[in-house]
Structure 1
Amino acid sequence: MKSQRLDQIEDYVLEHRNVSLDTLCETFHVSKNTIRRDIELLLKRSSIVKVYGGVAALKAAPEYPFLSYKEHNESFISEKRELCRQAASLVTNGDIIYIDSDSTCLDLIDFLSDSRCTILANSLLILNKAVSCPSLDVISVPGKLNRETLTFTGPDIQNYLEAYNISTAFISCTGVTIKNGLTTASAEEYITKKTIADRSEKLVLLADHSRFGRVSLMTCAPLKALDTLITDQKLPEDYQNFFQEQNIRVITPEQCV
């Protein structure tokens, strides 16, 4: 949709500060005439300004607020399911895996129903799904139930998680940038995500295109900590270059490197 593309273009310019028209055309797969029309509309928001050969940011990159589980769950449903299908192919029998509480990771259980592995999670919805799969060993992270996120959180989670040797952690986040890494808007979720990122042998990020260029409250892991990224669209050139330089595997519908 055009309104969605405008938001994405604005976020991209705010993140990169100065962007050429050619880069915008290539990143968003549109013609120069379309980009010029989009820019004219964005100028009315007073967030960007025209410069020679492109546009530049006038204000800081946006910080994205915490969203409830319901709000996250109702966006990019088909894209998230495909990310989970791709993620499941990375799991082998005998693995001990962590599945993040973000709605992006919820459908992963559907593709692991016949696997023989151990699932560690702090999400009530993921735990409920996993219970119906007899081949899965299920371990719940302790804590108090947060009714907004449907997750268990608490001060003892860090010590509890440090006892486990996690083969692969499948996580998501509110925002992803090269500079700020993986960010979350929830201080409670930050503790869990950071501990998991530090403890896991392999870290796999599931993130649809809307998460890129966003910066939220707290960084739970640097981008270079990833072993694999699974996303739904071709990445902007600067992200492609970064992942290639860091030898991080990228899985998208168009490519597998």
Structure 2
Amino acid sequence: MLPAEREQLIITFLKANKKATIHDLATEFNVHEATIRRDLNKLEQYNQIKRTHGGVVLNNTEVWDELNFDDRETSYYHEKVAIGQHAVTFVEDNDTLFIDSGSTTIHFARALTQKHNLTIITNDIHIATVLKSSSNQVIVTGGVLYKDNYLLNGMITNEILQRFNPNKLFLATPALDLEKGVTHFNDALAATKIQMVKQAKEVYVLTDSSKFDKVSLYHVCPTSKVDVLITDQSNTDIDWEAYTDVFNKIVPVKVNI
């Protein structure tokens, strides 16, 4: 078993059992305790776990999965609508865009139908369907279909993304942190986001503030790569001054409920 596979299984084990000792995990996965210690060191580095007296528990700031698209779309709905609608103000005629798959970027796509002469590349068939009624050119990447989330991903997707160099990327994320930047819990989905960031001239992150102070295992990009962060300020637990200091530009949106 590869270390990355075992690390994910450790997370699954802790999610089910709440806590474990090194001995418990070594027995569960039939490896030496030294191997488990190395795994835990890596998971701790990415803030996924916390060491406790005599064991280890999950870090509640860690994001290791998420709901399917239909459930996510209704969560923080008004915030996502406001973010998506405001993000359109950063789009100009004749722009070329990557639109990442997500429950916030779908609202951005709906607002884009009023724009003209855009070239839009997306790995989300739901977004492509929304945009089919617009006058813009829409390119769908292809790839393996993730049925619960309407997205296309994998080797084919990443190879196609390499052929484009758009002006702007509108990126979604389940986790955002001052130190770790943009992260994701799925290595395959993270790889596609990394490719989008690499190809695009400017990076716009669209995310509601419930995703702040969260970290997942796989790194996507540092805060320095984000040109504009568009979000709400509903989360009163966030140190907004610290985020303003770290990110190049934060655009708070007004949420109408």
**TM-score with structure 1 length normalisation?**
0.71
Aligned equivalent of 1:138: 138
Aligned equivalent of 2:178: 178
Contact 1:183 1:221 in 2 (8 A): yes
Aligned equivalent of 1:129: 130
Contact 2:98 2:121 in 1 (8 A): yes
Deviations 1:112-163 (A, max 9, x none): 1132201110111101101111x11000011121112211112132221111
| Count of residues in correspondence between the two structures | 193
Deviations 1:97-120 (A, max 9, x none): 011101111011222113220111
Aligned equivalent of 1:240: 244
Give the counterpart letter for 2:201 in structure 1: E
Aligned equivalent of 1:74: 74
Q: CA deviation at 1:187?
A: 2.1
Contact 1:61 1:215 in 2 (8 A): no
Distance in 2 (alpha carbons) for counterparts of 1:176 and 1:169: 17
Deviations 1:174-229 (A, max 9, x none): 11002111011222211110000111000000111101001112111111101101
Contact 2:230 2:253 in 1 (8 A): no
Alignment of 1:157-176 (within 5 A): 157-176=157-176
Distance in 2 (alpha carbons) for counterparts of 1:229 and 1:211: 12
Q: CA deviation at 1:70?
A: 2.2
Distance in 2 (alpha carbons) for counterparts of 1:190 and 1:221: 10
Aligned equivalent of 2:41: none
Aligned equivalent of 1:90: 90
* SS in structure 1 of the partner of residue 229 of structure 2: strand
**TM-score with structure 2 length normalisation?**
0.71
Distance in 2 (alpha carbons) for counterparts of 1:161 and 1:103: 21
Distance in 2 (alpha carbons) for counterparts of 1:94 and 1:78: 29
**5+ residue gaps, structure 2:** 1-49, 51-56
Give the counterpart letter for 2:77 in structure 1: I
CA RMSD of aligned residues (A): 1.9
* SS in structure 1 of the partner of residue 155 of structure 2: coil
Aligned residues with identical type, % of pairs: 25
Distance in 2 (alpha carbons) for counterparts of 1:178 and 1:233: 16
Contact 1:122 1:141 in 2 (8 A): yes
Alignment of 1:200-239 (within 5 A): 200-233=200-233, 236-239=240-243
Q: 1:112 to 1:60 in 2, by over 3 A?
A: closer
Distance in 1 (alpha carbons) for counterparts of 2:132 and 2:59: 45
Give the counterpart letter for 1:225 in structure 2: K
Distance in 1 (alpha carbons) for counterparts of 2:159 and 2:152: 14
Give the counterpart letter for 2:122 in structure 1: A
Distance in 2 (alpha carbons) for counterparts of 1:141 and 1:210: 29
Give the counterpart letter for 1:122 in structure 2: N
